[in-house]
Structure 1
Amino acid sequence: MRIANLAGRLTLLTQTGAVDVEKASEGRFGSDPTAVYGQWEDFTAWAAAADLPAGTAYDDTDLQTVVPEPAQIFAIGLNYREHAIESGLDFPVEPPVFTKFRTSLAGPVGDLELPTDTVDWESELVVVIGRTARNVAVDDAWDYVAGLTVGQDFSERTRQLVAPAPQFSLGKSFPGFSPVGPALVTLDEFDDPADLEITATIDGDVVQHSRTSGLIFSIPVLIERLSAVLPLLPGDLIFTGTPSGVGGGMTPPRFLRAGEEIVTSIEGIGELRQRCVPGQPYTTATA
């Protein structure tokens, strides 16, 4: 099953096109793309058995972020060995966790405003939580996952790495820095949800290419470690980390430029497409 946010409305994407959930369910489920995760078991049972109407054509530019109002967004750093190496850091013994603020969320297709000349890319598999998870064991963790989607953890490296105290969450939360989509794909759609090809290109040139089986901390381990500290809530997002190939790890460093298009794709899910445009300049305060 492929679930999307089409022009602000909860939508199923079928082989025949887009099906509006509120209309197809005759009001049993509302149009809110976030609220459905609080009814996840009922919703998936209905969708699996429903005699859905034929879908309608849609423009992918009308797709918006899959979960527009998650209660929590978790992001994991250094979760591929090659990325830790290119960052010049040791492999972590616990998942490094930060957040991306909700106002940075964006749809799968659109413009990315560049506030500086040091904006980097980080292609990521994103997990959407389907029911409240607290103290979940690794072996049970997949039962708490609604599905998977594609994300970009765009990062303004100057702000992120400012001394003496780095500001990961702020540096990664400028408007549009967290595109997610094009759809949430439920686990039954994958042969192996733990082993998916992930790729990023800039103007057609491959800059990142890996498989999600290369995660240091797997999705079940991330759910176990996070839920041991706090509850994971329906609709929460987990950005699981990026493979090697980020611009800051290149010699010399290479960052995004206005006019470039970055495309992020994950096997079985789809792709994000962002066209880089000049943004409002960002400057730090001076003493």
Structure 2
Amino acid sequence: MQITISGGKMEGVHAAPHDIENPKDPLQEELDNLSPLSPLRCIYRVPKRLRWVNEEAYTPQVVSIGPLHHGKEHLKAMEEHKKRYLRVFLRRTGVSFSDYIQMIKEKEGRLRGCYAEPIEFGSDEFVRIVLVDVAFVIEFLLRNYSSDYRQDEDDYIFNKPQMLCDVRPDLRLLENQLPFFILQDLFKKLFPSSHQLPSFLEISYYFFGSEINSKGKEKKFKQICSSGEEVQHFVDLIRILYLPVEPKPEEGLNSIAVPNVTELVQAGVQFRVRTESSDLFDIKFSDVLMWCSPISNPGIPTIEP
């Protein structure tokens, strides 16, 4: 080892060698190559703290939609049936396979930007995943909307009612979504007004609306149609339909940190179901209870959701 003395100090004994050919630190290169966060992000992974409670509640059990769960072993059985839907879909629309590929390829950047995390699949594989899943979702909703579209004798889902019940909850999972815009755009392009079909928003509402027990959901749906309010995906559509038609007026109350339900129950608050209303936001406070427990104080109100 060669040792040099400079300014009365010995250098070179413990010093790491310098990379003359590549002076930039690898971490600096990573910082320089970080891509900006997309403002289109709307499809996220469910946090682990929620998964710990019930893993299956957030994981598709029958069919994968989109890239986040694609390829999982327990979902592969449905892939063949999705491709059968694709084959019928191409015949129904009269569009060629290559043209369909190109339609989705043109939207790839925007599609990837809708997912909160980078998609591991390459361009060709990602486009194929979206291609199959878009055709499946549109074809599925059409067949659900009217029996006129169920002319396929090999329909694995609608020929077996139990399968319909199994597919339905998978389409409501946040991680199992396609951006709404790609479904709506292709539906408009492949089914022009001359087909006299309802809009994609209408056939989506027909499928999901039957499960939504919310006061004024029909009026809320009409507001979405008339205002052109942007829907991000199916979970977002369900969320919007549960919102109150007219927000309650503010009464000048100061915002406070509200304890969660568990903490309120532990403090002595009693919750009662109000059978006369189905609006999740219709919460009322009743008379004060004049009793206390070891963990509560006198004067705890009863909340009636």
TM-score exceeds 0.5: no
TM-score (norm 1): 0.28
The structure with higher relative contact order (CA 8 Å, sep 6+) is 1
TM-score (norm 2): 0.27
Considering fraction of residues, name the structure with more strand. 1
User: Which structure is larger by alpha-carbon Rg, 1 or 2?
Assistant: 2
